[in-house]
């Protein structure tokens, strides 16, 4: 297959020196792009030694920015993303490539929850998966996995949506689901990473909050805001019944619950409209692509 492999790297020279030769041995014709995201080690020298394409950022722009930079120059019809820290086994790339040839637009390597580094991270990823599954109505095995393969033409449609930070897997997954593109998951084994993680507890906490908002905003805002609005409205009804029965009056708290319910409902409607605008042009382009492919099949 016409494959490009993009590897964002920031001070991962110790693992790249083993990772790149393994990939080149198994995928001789694949285009390998290493995005040097402001590394201060000898990442660039290793890339030159093994003759792979390299994009150099003068300073760290973030994992998502590296993904976008690599995607812009990738020539393959399919793009595979993998981490440079040694967690992803090149021997499992074939699991993703074989699956996407079945007609999927994105295939994600799903980690076992026990493979995550800490209890807090396992708990957070479990919550992400459940929330995203509820929002989409589809079973999502691993929302935040960075080991995935996509159809390049489809993925490029969503580049402007991707953040520069670590939540690009969440954004891209929800964008594919929102546009009705088929997504599949295959189980993988994650190995112990080389070196120290670039994520800390404070950043993880902020990332946790941002991902929750992105899941709601990118896919179906009303599925997030409507239950919250309904909960506040129901609470207001019961609280009003309580205060009216015992004190025969309408309290400020009851009014605040009702108003909060209405405001959140209206925010959900506005968010739904904004979300649909994000995908309007994309869906038109994808429809044209699918129509062209049908014409080509008919001509053949």
Sign for the pseudo-dihedral over CA of 58, 61, 64, 68 = negative
> What's the CA angle centered on 82, arms 141 and 214, to 5 degrees?
50
Tens of pLDDT along the chain (300 residues) come to 899 999 999 999 999 999 999 999 999 999 999 999 999 999 999 999 999 999 999 999 999 999 999 999 999 999 999 999 888 999 999 999 999 999 999 999 998 866 655 677 777 778 888 888 887 788 888 888 899 999 999 999 889 888 887 778 888 998 898 888 999 999 998 876 655 555 555 666 667 667 777 777 777 788 888 999 999 999 999 999 999 998 888 899 999 999 999 999 999 998 888 877 766 666 666 666 655 555 555 555
Q: What is the pLDDT of residue 264?
A: 94
Instruction: Record the tokens describing residue 88, joined without a space.
Output: 């992803």
Spatial CA neighbour of 229 closest among 276, 267, 277, 265 = 265
Domain boundaries, the chain: 3-199, 221-299
Burial class (CB in 10 A: 0-12, 13-18, 19+), 20: buried
Q: What is the pLDDT of residue 289?
A: 61
Instruction: Record the tokens describing residue 193, joined without a space.
Output: 């990473």
Q: What is the pLDDT of residue 265?
A: 94
Regarding beta strands 53-57 and 148-151, do their DSSP bridges make them parallel or antiparallel, or are they unpaired? unpaired
Pick the CATH number of 3-199 from 3.40.50.2300, 3.90.550.10, 3.40.30.10, 3.40.50.2000: 3.90.550.10
Instruction: Record the tokens describing residue 86, joined without a space.
Output: 């040694």
Q: What is the pLDDT of residue 183?
A: 95
Q: What is the pLDDT of residue 221?
A: 86
Torsion angle of the four alpha carbons 2, 108, 160, 33, in this order, in degrees rounded to the nearest 10:
-40
Spatial CA neighbour of 173 closest among 109, 89, 228 = 109
């Amino acid at each position: 297959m016409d494959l490009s492999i993009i590897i964002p790297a920031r001070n991962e020279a110790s693992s790249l020196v083993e990772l790149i030769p393994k990939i080149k041995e198994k995928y001789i014709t694949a285009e390998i792009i290493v995005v040097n995201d402001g590394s201060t080690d000898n990442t660039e020298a290793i890339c030159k030694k093994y003759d792979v394409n390299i994009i150099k950022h003068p300073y760290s722009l973030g994992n998502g920015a590296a993904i976008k930079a690599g995607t812009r120059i990738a020539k393959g019809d399919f793009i595979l993303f993998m981490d440079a820290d040694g967690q992803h086994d090149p021997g499992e790339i074939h699991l993703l490539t074989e699956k996407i040839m079945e007609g999927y637009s994105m295939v994600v390597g799903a980690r076992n929850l026990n493979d995550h580094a800490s209890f807090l991270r396992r708990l957070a990823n479990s919550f992400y998966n459940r929330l995203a599954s509820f929002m989409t109505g589809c079973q999502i095995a691993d929302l935040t996995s960075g080991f995935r393969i996509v159809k390049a033409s489809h993925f490029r449609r969503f580049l402007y949506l991707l953040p520069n930070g670590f939540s690009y897997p969440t954004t891209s997954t929800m964008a594919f689901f929102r546009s009705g593109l088929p997504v599949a998951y295959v189980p993988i084994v994650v190995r112990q990473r080389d070196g120290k993680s670039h994520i800390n507890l404070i950043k993880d906490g902020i990332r946790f909050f941002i991902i929750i908002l992105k899941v709601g905003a990118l896919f179906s805002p009303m599925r997030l805001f409507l239950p919250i609005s309904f909960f506040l409205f129901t609470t207001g009804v019961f609280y009003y019944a309580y205060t009216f029965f015992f004190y025969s009056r309408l309290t400020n708290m009851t009014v605040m619950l009702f108003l909060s319910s209405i405001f959140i409902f209206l925010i959900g409607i506005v968010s739904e409209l904004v979300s649909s605008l994000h995908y309007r042009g994309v869906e038109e382009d994808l429809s044209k692509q699918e129509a062209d492919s049908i014409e080509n099949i008919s001509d053949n």
